[in-house]
Chains A and B, each alone.
Chain A
Amino acid sequence: MTEKQLMRGSHVIGEAAVRAGCRLYAGYPITPQNELTEYMSGAMARLEDGTFIQAESELAAINMVLGASMAGARAMTSSSSPGISLKQEGISYLAAQELPAVIVNTMRGGPGLGNIAPSQGDYFQATRGGGHGDYRVIVLAPASVQELADLTRKAFEYADKYRTPAMLLGDGMIGQMMEPVVFPEPVDLNKLPPKPWILDGAIGRPSRIILSLLLDTTVEEEHNWKLVRKYESIARDITSAETFMTEDAHLVVIAYGTAARIAKGAIKRVREIGLKVGLLRPVTLWPFPKRVLIEMSRQIKDFLVFEMSTGQMLEDVKLSLEGRSNIHFYGRPGGIVSTPDEIAKEINSLYHRQHLEED
Chain B
Amino acid sequence: MEKKVFTRPRYLKDAVFHYCPGCGHSIIHRLVAEVLEELEIGEKTIGVPPAGCAVLAYNYLDVDMGEAPHGRGAAVATGIKRVLPDRIVFSYQGDGDIAAIGTAETIHAANRGENITIIFVNNAVYGMTGGQMAPTTLPGQNSTTTPGGRDISRDGAPLDLSQMLAIARGSAYIERTSVDSPKNIRRTKKAITKAFLTQMEGLGFSLVEILSACPTNWKMSPVDANKWIKDSMMNTFPLKVIKDKTNEK
A: residues with CB less than 8 A from B are: 23-24, 26, 51, 53, 55-57, 59-61, 63-73, 75, 89-90, 93, 97, 199-204, 207-213
Contact = CB atoms under 8 A, between A and B. Distances in A.
A207 B65 contact: yes
A204 B44 CA distance: 10
At the interface, is chain A mostly helix, strand, loop or mixed? mixed
A51 B83 contact: yes
**Which interface residue of A59, A64, A72, A211 has the most chain B CB atoms within 10 A?**
A64
B43 interface: yes
B75 A63 contact: yes
Contacts of A66: 68-69, 72, 75-76, 79
B82 A68 contact: yes
A61 B79 CA distance: 9
A147 B64 CA distance: 38
Interface string B182-219: 00000000000000000000000000000000000000
A70 B108 contact: no
Contacts of B112: 53
Given A24-B83, A68-B83, 18 more contacts: A24-B82, A51-B83, A55-B75, A56-B108, A63-B68, A64-B79, A67-B75, A71-B46, A71-B87, A90-B72, A93-B69, A199-B46, A199-B80, A202-B42, A202-B64, A207-B62, A211-B65, A212-B67
Contacts of A53: 78, 82, 112
B58 A70 contact: no
B83 A72 contact: yes
Nearest to B56: A213
Pick the 8 closest A-B CB pairs, nearest first.
A67-B79, A63-B75, A71-B83, A67-B76, A56-B108, A64-B79, A68-B79, A63-B72
B69 A199 contact: no
Given A202-B64, A203-B44, A63 B69 contact: yes
Interface in B62-104: 62-69, 72, 75-84, 87, 104
A201 B44 contact: yes
B45 interface: yes
Nearest to A209: B58
Interface of B: 42-46, 48, 55-56, 58, 62-69, 72, 75-84, 87, 104-105, 107-108, 112
19 contacts: A26-B79, A51-B82, A53-B82, A63-B69, A65-B79, A67-B77, A67-B80, A67-B82, A71-B46, A71-B79, A73-B83, A75-B79, A90-B72, A93-B69, A199-B64, A199-B80, A200-B46, A200-B87, A209-B66
A24 B108 contact: no
Given A201-B46, A211-B67, A59 B79 contact: no
Contacts of B46: 70-71, 199-201
A210 B69 contact: no
A56 B67 contact: no
Nearest to B76: A67
Nearest to A56: B108
B168 to A, nearest CB: 12
A24 B64 contact: no
Contacts of B83: 23-24, 51, 67-68, 71-73, 75
Contact of B78 (A64, A204, A207): A64
A74 to B, nearest CB: 10
B108 A60 contact: yes
Contacts of A69: 79
Nearest to B68: A63
A65 B80 CA distance: 9
B58 A59 contact: no
Contact of A57 (B43, B56, B104): B104
B39 to A, nearest CB: 14
Contacts of B81: 67
